[in-house]
């Protein structure tokens, strides 16, 4: 039996992250980075693929759990016949090596606890050699080494290719475990004090959360989303991964299972806007700088996504030994969509640079030259068909959203040159391009009979990305074509009040069988569009419903199935949380966020 995706909570150290189930089991962890091979992969298989469960002996799911306020420190509580116990899980910000800290504390009575650790390197395929050294358990296989340290009173033993421990905690007693990874050829890194790590982690997270400028309704949900975005940030470079997981399905048993442990350019403007509006200029600047490094080079080679440090090669392969979440195969590592042509990313990058410039982020001397190089490529290629922002694996088409973002690129460039005539470049050329793109989209991407823009030229299909037209500024919100598009998308793509990405006959567009759930960020876009078109009451009703979909610790997946009432897709999803923050600020943050 698979555990529902929403049953998991996230802990992380700004370089990787783990998923902890309601039963106290860590079922997913990649070390030492988000995109490294997993050493716990039970999420995509079962216990034999690696996990670490720490819970009362014989107990099932916890009684309750919650993050400590404004932090990523997770408390899981069980009430048993013997008494009550709390397990505190965290990954402290690392000095040299990544650590997982688990602290057991007796709350009431005396509770017998059991720890079962099964390390399986390389996505659950490699069983390490276990040995004792300096009072620790050490697991080694090839380049990987993991040290497990526990308190002296806890006896550990090996059995069934796992490491086990059983101990009892009384009220007021604490027992800590620390799991540390390091390269097997290097000396063991310094040991961390688990209790000191807990104090420092709480202080660091709370100081960071206190910087949030938003103080309106749903502040707790906004702060939780911002903490999640921070947790998905690869601190050494400033890149933000779309999710810390791979291959969680968009349909149970389906094949739409992708690796999201990379950084997408398409998320750049919305991410930057959310961070800046909430008061996180340092993080926004780090993301902008990552963007500049990733986009540098030949504009013809611009990718839609990159690795954590801007790596370009993200080869996709199937991990055939893993059965997949709830039997959803294949399980994939890497993402071939990195090789696609998606013209909208040129607009996203230029729009992000424009936003950063308007917000007063420190200018980099090569920013404008990069923008001009991107514009030169786009000027010559914007008429080409592409795969679009949804990374379809069907034929290339003339996607309307891609053309609208080409317009945005030209528009932002023209505006910058009009505001600062000292900037070099052919403003008349970009202005002519802007006008031509606008004219073509309105002629070929608009269905006058239905009063709506369409997914691609000549199509009757719709696309949730069309909701971004007024937000991007392509047309004003009160334009009848915008209002008609919002109404049509809401009607035709709506599913029990939430929104699909595009029309139901997906295979004809994306070349893949099966379906998917409603896409959460698209539903946030609908709330934004309703607000912009003067229907703020309806927008707030939709936003309230979306906020109600967060799991018990405030996290959102990529998609939601409103029939089965469960989360789908990779988890937690940065795009969903960006949507929550952006919509909250749009609906309630005018006065509070400044």
Helix (H) or strand (E) holding 161, with range, is none
The answer as to whether 423 is a domain residue is yes
Does 354 share its domain with 468? Answer: yes
How confident is the model at residue 391, as a pLDDT? Answer: 78
The DSSP result for 540-563, as a single string, is HHHHHHHHTTS-TTS---SEEETT
The answer as to whether 94 is a domain residue is yes
How confident is the model at residue 132, as a pLDDT? Answer: 85
Intervals of the chain under pLDDT 70: 1, 504-511, 590-594
Does 278 share its domain with 307? Answer: yes
Q: Name the burial class of residue 233, with classes exposed (0-12), middle (13-18) and buried (19+) by CB atoms within 10 angstroms of its CB.
A: buried
Last residue of some domain: 199, 225, 256?
A: 199
The answer as to whether 206 is a domain residue is no
The answer as to whether 329 is a domain residue is yes
Residues in the chain: 594
- Separation between Cα atoms, residue 360 and residue 285, nearest integer Å: 10
Chain-wide mean pLDDT for the chain?
Answer: 93
Last residue of some domain: 145, 172, 199?
A: 199
How many C-beta atoms lie closer than 10 Å to residue 461's C-beta? Answer: 17
Phi and psi at 353, nearest 5°, equal: -65, -40
The answer as to whether 268 is a domain residue is yes
- Separation between Cα atoms, residue 231 and residue 225, nearest integer Å: 10
- Separation between Cα atoms, residue 524 and residue 343, nearest integer Å: 23
For residue 508, the domain's CATH number is 1.50.10.10
Query: Residue 391 sits in which domain range?
Result: 215-592
**pLDDT, tens digit, 9 for 90 and up, residues 463-491:** 999 999 999 999 999 999 999 999 999 99
* Stated pTM of the model: 0.95
- Separation between Cα atoms, residue 544 and residue 94, nearest integer Å: 37
How confident is the model at residue 338, as a pLDDT? Answer: 87
How confident is the model at residue 507, as a pLDDT? Answer: 53
- Separation between Cα atoms, residue 407 and residue 442, nearest integer Å: 12
The answer as to whether 292 is a domain residue is yes
* 11 contacts: CB under 8 Å, gap ≥ 6: 17, 18, 20, 72, 73, 74, 89, 90, 91, 100
Does 123 share its domain with 235? Answer: no
The answer as to whether 207 is a domain residue is no
Cis peptide before 277 (omega within 30 of 0): no
For residue 53, the domain's CATH number is 2.70.98.50
Q: How far is CA 549 from the centre of its chain?
A: 16
- Separation between Cα atoms, residue 447 and residue 275, nearest integer Å: 36
How confident is the model at residue 594, as a pLDDT? Answer: 35
Does 78 share its domain with 102? Answer: yes
Does 275 share its domain with 138? Answer: no
The answer as to whether 205 is a domain residue is no
Q: How far is CA 22 from the centre of its chain?
A: 21
Q: How far is CA 221 from the centre of its chain?
A: 16
Q: Name the burial class of residue 81, with classes exposed (0-12), middle (13-18) and buried (19+) by CB atoms within 10 angstroms of its CB.
A: exposed
Contact 90, 223 (CB under 8 A): no
Does 240 share its domain with 158? Answer: no
Does 220 share its domain with 294? Answer: yes
Count how many domains the chain has.
Answer: 2
Does 175 share its domain with 283? Answer: no
The pair of structure tokens assigned to 28 is: 């997913």
**pLDDT, tens digit, 9 for 90 and up, residues 435-460:** 999 999 999 999 999 999 999 999 99
Does 154 share its domain with 233? Answer: no
Does 457 share its domain with 355? Answer: yes
The DSSP result for 100-127, as a single string, is EEEEEEEEEEEEEEEEEEE--HHHHTBP
- Separation between Cα atoms, residue 468 and residue 403, nearest integer Å: 12
What is residue 437's three-state secondary structure? Answer: helix
- Separation between Cα atoms, residue 176 and residue 341, nearest integer Å: 50
Does 116 share its domain with 257? Answer: no
Closest-CA residue to 518 (of 548, 538, 497, 544): 497
Last residue of some domain: 142, 166, 199?
A: 199
Contact 180, 94 (CB under 8 A): no
What is residue 500's three-state secondary structure? Answer: coil
Does 185 share its domain with 294? Answer: no
How confident is the model at residue 43, as a pLDDT? Answer: 98
């Amino acid at each position: 039996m698979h555990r529902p995706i929403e049953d998991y909570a996230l802990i992380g150290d700004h370089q990787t992250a783990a998923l902890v189930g309601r039963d106290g089991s860590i079922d997913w962890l990649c070390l030492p980075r988000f995109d490294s091979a997993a050493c716990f992969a039970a999420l995509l298989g079962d216990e034999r693929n690696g996990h670490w469960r720490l819970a009362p002996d014989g107990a099932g799911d916890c009684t309750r759990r919650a993050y400590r306020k404004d932090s990523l420190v997770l408390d899981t509580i069980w009430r048993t016949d013997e008494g009550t116990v709390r397990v505190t899980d965290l990954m402290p910000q690392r000095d040299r090596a990544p650590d997982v800290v688990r602290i057991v504390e007796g709350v009431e009575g005396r509770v017998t606890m059991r720890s079962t650790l099964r390390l399986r390197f390389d996505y659950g395929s490699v069983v390490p050699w276990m040995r004792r050294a300096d009072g620790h358990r050490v697991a080694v296989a090839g380049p990987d080494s993991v040290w497990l340290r526990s308190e002296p009173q806890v006896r550990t033993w090996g059995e069934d290719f796992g490491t086990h421990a059983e101990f009892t905690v009384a009220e007021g007693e604490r027992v800590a475990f620390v799991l540390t990874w390091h390269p097997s050829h290097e000396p063991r890194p310094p040991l961390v004090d688990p209790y000191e790590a807990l104090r420092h982690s709480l202080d660091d997270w709370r100081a960071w959360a206190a910087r949030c400028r938003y103080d309106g309704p749903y502040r707790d949900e906004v702060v939780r989303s911002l903490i999640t975005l921070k947790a998905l940030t690869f601190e050494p470079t400033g890149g933000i991964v779309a999710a810390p997981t791979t291959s969680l399905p968009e349909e149970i048993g389906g094949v739409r299972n992708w690796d999201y442990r990379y950084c997408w350019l398409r998320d750049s403007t919305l991410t930057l806007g959310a961070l800046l509006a909430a008061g996180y200029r340092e993080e926004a600047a780090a993301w902008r700088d990552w963007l500049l490094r990733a986009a540098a080079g030949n504009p013809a080679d611009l990718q839609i996504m990159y690795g954590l440090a801007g790596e370009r090669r993200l080869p996709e392969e199937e991990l055939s030994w893993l059965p997949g979440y709830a039997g959803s195969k294949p399980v994939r590592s890497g993402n071939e969509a990195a090789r696609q042509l998606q013209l909208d990313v040129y607009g996203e990058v230029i729009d992000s640079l424009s936003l950063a410039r308007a917000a007063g982020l420190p200018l980099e001397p090569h920013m404008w030259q990069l923008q001009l190089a991107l514009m030169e490529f786009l000027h010559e290629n914007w008429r080409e068909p592409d795969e679009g922002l949804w990374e379809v694996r069907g034929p290339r088409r003339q996607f309307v959203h891609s053309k609208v973002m080409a317009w945005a690129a030209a528009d932002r460039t023209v505006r910058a040159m009009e505001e600062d005539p000292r900037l070099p470049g052919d403003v008349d050329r970009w202005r002519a391009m802007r006008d031509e793109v606008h004219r073509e989209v309105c002629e070929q991407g608009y269905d006058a009979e239905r009063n709506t823009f369409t997914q691609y030229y000549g199509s009757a299909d719709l696309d949730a990305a069309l909701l971004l037209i007024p937000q991007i500024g392509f047309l004003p919100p009160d334009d009848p074509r915008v209002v008609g598009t919002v109404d049509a998308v809401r009607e035709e793509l709506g599913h029990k009040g939430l929104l699909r990405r595009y029309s139901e006959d997906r295979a004809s567009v994306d070349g893949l069988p099966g379906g998917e759930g409603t896409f959460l960020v698209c539903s946030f876009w609908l709330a934004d569009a309703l607000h912009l078109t003067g229907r703020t009451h309806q927008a707030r009703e939709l936003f309230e419903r979306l906020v109600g979909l967060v799991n018990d610790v405030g996290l959102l997946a990529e998609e939601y199935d409103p029939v089965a009432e469960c989360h789908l897709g990779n988890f937690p999803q940065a795009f969903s949380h960006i949507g929550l923050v952006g919509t909250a600020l749009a609906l309630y943050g005018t006065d509070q966020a400044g």
